[in-house]
């Protein structure tokens, strides 16, 4: 495989369909996006792993939202990892790349370096939010933290909130190609079994952890057999096939699902990108009085603000802020 073809598939999400089993899915490869998110902060290894998994999930799930929509994933817990948050901004026009950003809030003193990354979250919830733009109410779905990984939480969310059988196979970590420095790479496959009619849960109980629905509770007969076969095939995937760069996503789909009739669609490019700006900072401070602004003013006579996602640092004249602003000003970013 040439370097050119590697670069062509890095930071893309490839939608596909298995025509013989009513299964749809996506293959994602992330390189620059993931490094763009992680290099903004000096996270401990376990926090980096959680953010990497969330960014990969965000790319796979976000590909389905419509133009100009925003999708957000959030994990909040009572453990050392308090918050993992990511945003996916769909393209403004067809052909443009989507943008992804993310960050984490954590208590470094409580981190257990010997414990798995997922255990650092503790008890809490996994949430998916979709913002369709001005004049609409954002959609929000929440499911408890369960299953041993963030991808398992996402699978539970789709079973509970969408009643849609969903499976993720993810791989992420730091790797070094010959002659290059060490970089983060990630890759994954997401599959979903599409309902032939209105989805419903079988029986009165649910088989997932804590009484939550799982994919097995949503399928019957041929659909259940098709889903089981697709999962068995996905179980054979290797980490290096997911991450690449030696196996192209199209080649991977043929290796895994050649008997299921795989059909691919146009790939979606993704990049690291933030939407913060001085105008947004001013808007967020517009609800405060002059007295409140005074409490925020530093000894240097400025109000400062930092973007958690990209690290941008804003310096603003307090006289230009709040609903009692005395003058319009241009801050220094």
pLDDT above 70 covers what percent of the chain? 87
Question: Is residue 76 located within the same domain as residue 124?
Answer: yes
Confidence of residue 321 (pLDDT cuts 50, 70, 90): confident
Task: Please provide the average confidence, as pLDDT, over all residues in the chain.
Answer: 86
If you average pLDDT over residues 162-182, what whole number do you get?
Answer: 83
**Per the domain annotation, does 130 fall within a domain?**
yes
- Domain at 161, CATH number: 3.55.30.10
CA distance readout (Å), 140 to 104, 161, 194, 238: 20, 10, 22, 34
Residues 73 and 100 in one domain: yes
Residues 224 and 113 in one domain: yes
Q: What percent of the chain has pLDDT over 90?
A: 53
Q: How confident is the model at residue 7 (pLDDT cuts 50, 70, 90)?
A: low
Per-residue model confidence (pLDDT) at position 203: 47
222 lies in the same domain as 298: no
Burial of 129 (0-12, 13-18, 19+ CB in 10 A): middle
Question: Does 249 lie in the same domain as 158?
Answer: yes
Kindly state whether residue 99 falls inside one of the protein's structural domains: yes
Same domain for 267 and 283: no
With the C-alpha atoms ordered 55, 61, 65, 71, is the resulting torsion angle positive or negative?
A: negative
In angstroms, the CA 44 to CA 31 distance is: 19
On whether residue 285 sits in a domain, the answer given is yes
Question: Does 34 share its domain with 119?
Answer: yes
Q: Residue 216: its pLDDT value, please?
A: 67
Domain region containing 242: 12-272
Contacts 24+ apart (CB under 8 A), 251-256: 252/27, 252/189, 253/16, 253/27, 256/189
> Both 101 and 79 in a single domain?
yes
The pLDDT value given to residue 147 = 92
Same structural domain for residues 293 and 219?
no
Q: How far is the C-alpha of 188 from the C-alpha of 13, rounded, in Å?
A: 9
Tokens 């010997």 locate to 114
User: pTM for this structure?
Assistant: 0.84
CA distance 205 to 159: 13
DSSP labels, 98-117: EEEEEEEEE-GGG--TTS-T
Nearest to 121 by CA among 98, 97, 148: 148
**Domain end point (choices 272, 289, 308):** 272
| Cα angle, residue 95 at apex, residues 89 and 96 outer, rounded to 5° | 40
Confidence check: pLDDT of 4 > 50? no
3 belongs to a structural domain = no
Give the count of domains, the chain. 2
Do 74 and 44 lie in one domain? The reply is yes
Burial track 308-330 (b if 16+ CB lie within 10 A, e otherwise): bbbebebebbbbbbbeebeeeee
Assess if residue 316 is contained within a domain.
yes
Write the pLDDT tens digit of every residue in 273-311. Answer: 888 778 888 888 888 888 888 888 988 888 888 888 877
Residues 187 and 212 in one domain: yes
289 shares a domain with 267 = no
Q: What is the pLDDT of residue 2?
A: 42
Residue 332 lies in a domain: no
Closest CA to 50 of 148, 169, 192: 148
* Among 79, 13, 19, 2, residue whose Cα is nearest residue 47: 79
- CA dist 162 and 183 (Å) reads 35
d(CA 7, CA 39): 20
């Amino acid at each position: 495989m040439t370097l050119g073809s590697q670069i062509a598939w890095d930071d893309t999400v490839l939608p596909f369909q298995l025509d013989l089993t009513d299964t749809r899915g996506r293959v994602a490869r992330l390189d620059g996006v993931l490094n763009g998110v992680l290099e903004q902060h000096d996270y401990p290894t376990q926090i980096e792993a959680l953010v990497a998994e969330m960014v990969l999930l965000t790319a796979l799930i976000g590909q389905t939202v419509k133009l100009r929509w925003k999708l957000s994933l959030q994990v909040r817990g009572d453990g050392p990892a308090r918050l993992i948050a990511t945003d996916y901004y769909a393209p403004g026009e067809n052909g443009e790349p989507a943008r992804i950003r993310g960050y984490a809030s954590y208590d470094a003193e409580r981190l257990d370096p010997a414990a798995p990354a997922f255990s650092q979250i503790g008890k809490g919830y996994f949430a998916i939010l979709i913002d369709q733009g001005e004049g609409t109410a954002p959609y929000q779905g929440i499911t408890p933290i369960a299953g041993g990984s963030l991808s398992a939480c996402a699978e539970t969310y789709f079973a509970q909130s969408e009643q849609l059988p969903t499976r993720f196979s993810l791989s992420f970590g730091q790797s070094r190609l010959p002659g290059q420095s060490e970089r983060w790479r990630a890759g994954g496959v997401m599959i979903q079994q599409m309902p032939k009619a209105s989805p419903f849960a079988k029986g009165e109980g649910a088989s997932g952890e804590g009484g939550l629905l799982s994919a097995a509770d949503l399928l019957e007969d041929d659909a259940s057999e098709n889903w089981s076969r697709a999962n068995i095939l996905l179980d054979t995937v290797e980490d290096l096939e997911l991450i690449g760069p030696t196996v192209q996503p199209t080649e991977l789909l043929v290796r895994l699902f050649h008997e299921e009739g795989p059909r691919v669609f146009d790939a979606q490019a993704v990049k690291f990108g933030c939407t913060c700006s001085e105008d947004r900072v001013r808007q967020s401070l517009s609800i405060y009085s002059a007295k409140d602004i005074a409490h925020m003013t530093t000894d240097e006579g400025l109000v400062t603000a930092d973007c958690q996602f990209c690290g941008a640092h804003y310096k603003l004249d307090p006289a230009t802020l709040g609903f009692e602003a005395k003058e319009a000003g241009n801050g220094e970013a």
